[in-house]
Amino acid sequence: MKLIFCDKCGTITAPMQHPYPIIYKIPVSCLCKDSWCWWENAEQGILKVVGEHAYAIGIANNLLNAKTDGVVGREEMDKLIAEIPDNYLFKLHSSLIVKYKPGITGDTLIATREELEKQIEETKRK
Positions touching Zn ion (CB under 5 A) are 6, 8-9, 30, 32, 34-35
Q: Is the Cβ–Cβ distance between 28 and 16 less than 8 Å?
A: yes
SS3 63: helix
Task: CB nearer to Zn ion: give 9 or 66.
Answer: 9
Q: C-beta of 9: minimal distance to Zn ion in Å?
A: 3
C-alpha span between 119 and 112 (Å, rounded): 11
Task: CB nearer to Zn ion: give 12 or 22.
Answer: 12
Task: CB nearer to Zn ion: give 9 or 72.
Answer: 9
Q: C-beta of 57: minimal distance to Zn ion in Å?
A: 14
Q: Which residues pair with 55 in a beta bridge?
A: 5
The counts of H helices and E strands in the chain are: 5, 8
Task: Please identify the residue of the shown chain whose CB is closest to the bound Zn ion.
Answer: 6
Cβ neighbour number for residue 111 with a 10 Å cutoff: 21
CA distances from residue 28 to 40, 75, 85, 93, 101 in whole angstroms, order as listed: 13, 36, 30, 28, 18
Q: C-beta of 67: minimal distance to Zn ion in Å?
A: 34
Task: CB nearer to Zn ion: give 36 or 39.
Answer: 36
Q: C-beta of 50: minimal distance to Zn ion in Å?
A: 11
